[in-house]
Chains A and B, each alone.
Chain A
Amino acid sequence: MEFLRDVAAWYVDPHQWGGRNALPDLVGGTLLLAAASLAVALLIAMPIGLYIGHTGRGAQAAVAIANIGRAVPSLGWMGIAYPITTGLFARAGSGLMPAIIALAALGIPPIVTNTYAGLREVDPDLREAGRGVGMTEGQLLRRVEVPVALPVIMAGIRSSAVAIVATTPLMSLVGADTLGDYIISGLNLSDEVEVFAAALLVIVAALSTELLFAWLERRATSPGLGRDAGEIIGGRPLDAQAIGSEG
Chain B
Amino acid sequence: MREGQPFFRVDWLVDNADQLARRVGEQLYITLIAIAVGFVISFGLALLVRRYPRLAGPFLGIAGILYAIPSIAAFVLLIPITHLSLLTAEIVLVSYTLVMLVRNMIAGFRAVPADVLEAADGMGYTNAQRLWRVELPIALPIIVAGVRIATVTTMGLVTIAALIGSGGLGYLIVNLGILRQFPTATISGVVLVVGLSALIDWGLVIVQRRLTPWSRAQVA
Q: Is B173 an interface residue (CB 8 A)?
A: yes
Interface string of A81-95 (1 = CB under 8 A from B): 011001100001000
User: Cβ of A72: which chain B residues have Cβ within 8 Å of it?
Assistant: 156, 190, 193-194
C-alpha spacing A92/B2, complex, angstroms: 8
14 residue pairs A–B, Cβ–Cβ below 8 Å? A72-B190, A76-B190, A80-B186, A83-B177, A169-B73, A173-B178, A195-B76, A199-B74, A200-B77, A206-B68, A206-B69, A243-B104, A247-B144, A247-B145
Find A244's partner among B1, B79, B104 (CB 8 Å cutoff): B104
**Is B166 on the interface with A (CB-CB < 8 A)?**
no
What chain A residues lie within 8 Å of B100 (beta carbons)? Answer: 243
Q: Does A192 make an interface contact (CB < 8 A)?
A: yes
Q: Is B181 an interface residue when CB atoms closer than 8 A count as contact?
A: yes
- Tell me, yes or no, whether B87 is within 8 Å of chain A by CB: no
A247 lies within 8 A of B76 (CB)? no
Q: Which residue of A lies closest to B146 (CB)?
A: A243
A73 and B219 within 8 A (CB)? no
User: What's the least CB distance linking A237 to chain B, in Å?
Assistant: 9
Residues of B that sit less than 8 Å from A by CB: 1-2, 7, 68-74, 76-77, 79-80, 100, 103-104, 107, 141-142, 144-146, 148-149, 152-153, 155-157, 159-160, 163-164, 170, 173-174, 177-179, 181, 183, 186-187, 189-190, 193-194, 197-198, 201, 215, 218-219
Q: Is the CB of B178 within 8 A of A78?
A: yes
Chain B residues positioned under 8 Å from A203 (CB to CB): 69-70, 73
A interface: dominant SS: helix
Which of B68, B104, B198 lies in contact with A162, CB distance below 8 A? B68
Q: How far is the CA of A174 from the CA of B186 in the complex (A)?
A: 12
- Interface residue count for A (Cβ, 8 Å)? 44
Q: Cβ of A199 and Cβ of B76 under 8 Å apart? A: yes
Interface SS of chain B = helix
Flag if B193 contacts A76 (CB, 8 Å). yes
Query: Which A residues have a C-beta under 8 Å from some C-beta of B?
Result: 3, 70-76, 78-80, 82-83, 86-87, 92, 162, 165-167, 169-170, 173-174, 180, 183-184, 186-187, 192, 195-196, 199-200, 202-203, 206-207, 210, 240, 243-244, 246-247
Please name all residues of chain A whose beta carbon is closer than 8 Å to the beta carbon of B73 when the two chains form the complex: 166, 169, 183, 199-200, 202-203, 206
| B174 contact from A173, A207, A210, Cβ within 8 A | A173
Distance in Å: Cβ of B136 to nearest Cβ of chain A: 16
A70 touches B173 (CB 8 A): no
Q: Are B159 and A196 in contact (CB under 8 A)?
A: no
Cross-chain contact A74 with B1 (CB below 8 angstroms): no
> Across the interface, which residues of B come within 8 angstroms of A186, CB to CB?
76
Decide: A196 near B156, CB < 8 A? Known: A92-B181, A187-B164: no
Alpha-carbon distance between A183 and B7 when the two chains are bound, in angstroms: 30
Q: Is the CB of B77 within 8 A of A196?
A: yes
Other CB < 8 Å A-B pairs besides A70-B149, A244-B107, 19 of them?
A3-B80, A72-B193, A74-B156, A75-B160, A79-B174, A79-B178, A82-B178, A87-B7, A167-B70, A167-B71, A187-B163, A195-B76, A202-B72, A203-B70, A206-B69, A244-B142, A246-B145, A247-B215, A247-B219
Q: Given known contacts A79-B178, A195-B76, A195-B79, is B1 in contact with A87 (CB within 8 Å)?
A: yes
Question: Roughly how many angstroms separate A76 CA and B152 CA in the complex, as a whole number?
Answer: 13
The residue in chain A whose Cβ has the minimal distance to the Cβ of B170 is A75
The 6 closest A-B pairs by CB, nearest first: A73-B156, A83-B183, A166-B70, A199-B73, A79-B186, A76-B190
Instruction: Check A73–B157 contact: CB distance below 8 A.
Output: yes
Closest to A83 in B: B183
